[in-house]
């Protein structure tokens, strides 16, 4: 066993990749929430929804893109973006499906606002995500999660029918130190470095 140092300006996470090769047979459970397709989303609209859902778990990768780079992805005809909305129409989560790879669908981002954690609504959202991912011509649906995500995320994906097939270790500059996310994001992850002096994010 060995310990590899991580600088104060960096974070490290274990990423688990999961997949399924046939649609599950379980039906989508009832829910007071609904999914609204967002056609041709604007970059700022996307960022607001993304931060609402992902900031507590340090989701940040699309936030590192400029408007043209981001909109090239989220407006692609084979990428679908949905807002999860409550009965009053308030945004409460997001789902992003990526069909750009032939015969595959990636659950690029799927999640609810932190206030809804542990109330069973995630089962509905994942069931909806999987049902919408499986369509004619698709023979593989995949997703990945990491150890900085919600503690129940990995178990939820497995319960939804995904099978883990690979792991990797990811290291990256803390997005809070770069000003991409507020310093107050993800208080469960200690903020060790100094704001404004983190190394630049690698180009992707």
Average pLDDT score over the chain: 93
| Residue 29 pLDDT exceeds 50 | yes
Q: Which residues make Cβ contacts (< 8 Å) with residue 197, sequence separation at least 6?
A: 9, 177
pLDDT > 90 in the chain, percent = 88
Model pLDDT for residues 115-130, shown as the tens digit of each residue: 988 888 999 999 999 9
Model pLDDT for residues 137-196, shown as the tens digit of each residue: 999 999 999 999 999 999 999 999 999 999 999 999 999 999 999 999 999 999 998 876
Domains and CATH numbers, the chain: 27-141 (3.40.630.30)
Model pLDDT for residues 71-122, shown as the tens digit of each residue: 999 999 999 999 999 999 999 999 999 999 999 999 999 999 999 888 889 9
pTM over 0.75: yes
């Amino acid at each position: 066993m060995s310990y590899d140092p991580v600088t104060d300006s960096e974070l490290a996470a274990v990423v688990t990749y999961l997949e399924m090769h046939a649609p599950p047979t379980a039906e989508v459970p009832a829910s007071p929430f609904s999914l609204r397709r967002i056609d041709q989303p604007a970059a700022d609209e996307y960022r607001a929804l993304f931060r609402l859902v992902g900031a507590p778990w340090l989701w940040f990768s699309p936030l590192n893109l400029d408007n043209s780079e981001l909109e090239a992805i989220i407006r692609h005809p084979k990428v679908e973006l949905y807002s999860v909305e409550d009965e009053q129409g308030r945004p409460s989560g997001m789902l992003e499906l990526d069909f750009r790879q032939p015969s595959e669908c990636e659950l690029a981002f799927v999640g609810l606002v932190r206030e809804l954690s542990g109330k069973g609504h995630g089962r509905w959202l994942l069931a909806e995500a999987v049902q919408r991912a499986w369509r004619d011509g698709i023979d593989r649906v995949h997703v990945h999660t990491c150890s900085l995500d919600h503690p129940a995320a990995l178990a939820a994906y497995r319960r939804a029918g995904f099978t883990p097939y690979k792991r990797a270790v990811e290291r990256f500059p803390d997005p809070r130190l770069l000003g991409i996310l507020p310093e107050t994001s993800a208080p469960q992850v200690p903020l060790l470095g100094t704001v404004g002096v983190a190394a630049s994010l690698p180009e992707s």
